[in-house]
Amino acid sequence: MDSKNQQLYLGIDGGGSKCKAVIMNTDMQILGEGIAGAANPFHNLERAQQSIIDACVLALSDAGLERSAMHSLIAGVGLAGVNLPKYFQLMQEWQHPFKQMHLATDLHIACLGAHGEAKGAIMINGTGSVGYVTSGVESLVIGGHGFPHGDICSGAWLGFRAVEQVLLSDDKLIEDTLLTDKLFKKLAVKDANTLIEAIAGQGATFYGQFAIDVFDCAEAGDAIALQIIEQGAAYFCQVFDRLIAFQQGKVALIGGIKTRLMPYLPKRIHEQVIEPVNPPEYGAVLFAIKQVNS
């Protein structure tokens, strides 16, 4: 396919754990893809910008294009964190390398991708968590306040709660938990003191790595791990019900822990969820095209 004589688009989905990029042509055909590191400017502005560039370079290489082609791309960039006006403005002021950059929240591009249009509802449960629903005119965001202040039922929240419970168990304030052995081995620590040293100053991505351990321990019959998941699932249901009350319809589930979480959700939730039509980075390209044509 000759990509030199047509406008190419870059779609970016940047979150707390990774940044996904896709190169597409005007016919919405995927030419190349790439994945780089975390891209939430609320956590680290410079790292987010570098991750966008890194993911773009990988996608260009996958498409058989030179790095210099970056300057001809029209980019749709959806990021976690830019729902906060300060970080939206900082990203808008970025001297980016693209022909054009159209910035949106990760929620908006995820909804565009999931439903193929600018309306619908989504629940994101990855490193962070948030609910979003839009009618195309009005929208509602529930949660998404960031770790550690919010993001209940996210990977980071699950991991943080696991560490909290391990420390309580070590102090003999609650029962023993399989999480202790899991976390000690993963972090190569031997007791609570060395655990504290290992976790000091760590952020959402670090804690998100323990989410899988919480699910593994719960499935092995661990009561503490099960309590953590059930608390997260209860919050999930509250958010879900508010989304449905705002606009009746199906809710698309997105994020790395959704598959593990589903068995802990009631039947009524299962009946109202759908798989996304397309991923968020595809929605970012749709967003860029809409901005160019508006």
**Residue 283 carries which DSSP code?**
H
Question: Residue 145 belongs to a domain with what CATH number?
Answer: 3.30.420.40
Identify whether residues 138 and 107 lie together within a single domain: no
Confidence of residue 1 (pLDDT cuts 50, 70, 90): very low
Identify whether residues 226 and 284 lie together within a single domain: no
**pLDDT of 6 above 90:** no
Identify whether residues 143 and 91 lie together within a single domain: no
Q: Determine the structural domain holding residue 212 and report its residue range.
A: 119-275
Query: For tokens 């995820």, what's the residue?
Result: 110
Average pLDDT, the chain: 94
In total, how many domains does the chain have? Answer: 2
- CA–CA distance from 123 to each of 151, 218, 225, 269, 291 (Å)? 12, 23, 22, 12, 25
Identify whether residues 124 and 270 lie together within a single domain: yes
Identify whether residues 22 and 47 lie together within a single domain: yes
**Residue 30 carries which DSSP code?**
E
User: Going along 66-225, which residue ranges are E strands?
Assistant: 74-79, 100-105, 120-125, 129-134, 139-143
Between β-strands 139-143 and 251-254, what pairing exists: parallel, antiparallel or unpaired?
unpaired
> Around 159, how many Cα atoms within 13 Å sit in the side-chain half-sphere?
24
Identify whether residues 138 and 254 lie together within a single domain: yes
**pLDDT of 5 above 90:** no
Per-residue pLDDT tens over the stretch 229-270: 999 999 999 999 999 999 888 999 998 899 999 999 999 999
**pLDDT of 184 above 80:** yes
**pLDDT of 15 above 90:** no
Report the Cα–Cα distance between both ends of the chain, in Å, rounded: 28
